[in-house]
Amino acid sequence: MMFTIPVTRPVADAGGRSGSRPAADARSGSGRAARGRRAWVLLAVVAAAALAGCSSASSGGSAVGSGAGGAASGGAITIADVAPFSGADAVLGPIYLASCYGATAAINSAGGVLGHQLTCKSVDTRGDPADAVPAVNQMFASTPNLALVIGCTSDEAASVVPVINARKMAMFCMTGQSEFDSVHFPYFYRLVPPDLEESYAMVAIAEELHYKRIAMAFGNDIGSQTFIQPAIAALQKAGITLTTDQTLDLKATTFRTEAEEIVQSHPDAIMTEALGSADPTLFSEIAQLNGGKMIPVIGTSAAISPSFFKSAAAAVGASTFTANFHADNLALESSGPAYQAFSKALLGEQGKVPGDTGDFTTYLSAPGGVHLYDGINLAALAMIMSHSTSPSVYGPDIVKIGNGASGATMCYSFATCAAALKAGQAIRYEGPGGATNFDSFHDSLGLFQVDTYSPNGQVNVVGSLTAAQLRPL
């Protein structure tokens, strides 16, 4: 077995001190963010609309995004967090905003970028493609010194990525949609794996725990639905019986029928992702129908967040919830210089992030927190390397700095990397998400780890999942 359940390694205690987890050798991630599958017909339609919008709408940040020359010297430049701040997936926006606050605070304290200070801006997509496109268009119209977009979850990525790309604006997206593996958007960068790989990781956890019967319960949002078909196929390959497949309406207030179906199907465990209050409500109703006992749960990396733990623990009790809960996550560093810089930057923003709830230290292990911090640092360093805040100019240097070259100086924070660049050195940045290896589609994938919770909300790493385990699935 690749992981042993009783032995836990804490990610961080209440003071943010790291545990003994080894450094990952590849970028990890989802945070996950809501992810999902959209028809590529929609991408073509939206791309055409975006191009039309570029000529008719106010240009806003086009001076920065067009490659013309970037922001005026000395002015502040903006990083926009394009994500749900309302709706069923509203927990995602604040996680990403915390990363932005932490990264930009550290960058500004080290002198900023080319004479500019960095600021963060939230753009609420409501987790709905129909709301996301006008929100993004308004963002461009009202943000003259926009230099980078982060977020763009799978709730809205298929609709907004073509719009952002048409504006020649660099973006680090928290989407696991597999379609982005094979369609090239020059301004799109991703530090998280496709959802199908996370589906395989969930099934691999079930195998390692010797579960033979699995129930599935996923939300009806775009991001959660994309897990279902890969998971079903992987369960079949693993010889694990699917007892029932339930879809949870994220706007519903009760899941009594779905809970009854799950309990009556007698699964060994439930594979699930349903954001907002859906999963905690389901857990409560399952416990009520099951003599006060929870059925073991395997969650996605979206379950590793302060708000999810707080809600689930309140629904069934912290000890009951954590007794048999596991989630896949992508391997993150929890010690060493990259982690030390990250934890200092992030924890310095505790209490300052609008919409933040729960245990802020949990963000230290939330992939969205880690990888968008890395993305912001990569972009800021690329600006310095290229002497430009224009994505069409600095974009190619993101890959050069992330992947490095022979003889490049390894560096682990914006401050040390920026100093090396200014000294004329070639660098390779490695942040808390581990080493970056971008491919031709600007994807950089990583290794999976298995996380649990302690009853006090501490996240523990109990093992890892190798490529050899995932490949057969």
Q: Supply the pTM of this predicted model.
A: 0.69
Give the pLDDT of residue 466: 75
C-alpha–C-alpha distance, residues 438 and 154, integer Å: 20
Handedness of CA 40, 191, 232, 280 (dihedral sign): negative
The torsion angle over the Cα atoms of residues 430, 434, 440 and 442, rounded to 10 degrees, is: -90
The torsion angle over the Cα atoms of residues 104, 110, 113 and 119, rounded to 10 degrees, is: 20
Give the pLDDT of residue 89: 85
Give the pLDDT of residue 18: 32
Give the pLDDT of residue 172: 97
Other beta carbons less than 10 A from residue 3's beta carbon: 18
Give the pLDDT of residue 397: 97
| Cβ atoms of residues 86 and 354 within 8 Å | no
Give the pLDDT of residue 41: 35
Nearest C-alpha neighbor of 22 from the set 455, 458, 434: 434
Terminus-to-terminus CA distance in the chain, angstroms? 16
Low-confidence ranges of the chain (pLDDT < 50): 1-2, 4-69
C-alpha–C-alpha distance, residues 54 and 65, integer Å: 12
| Cβ atoms of residues 156 and 127 within 8 Å | yes
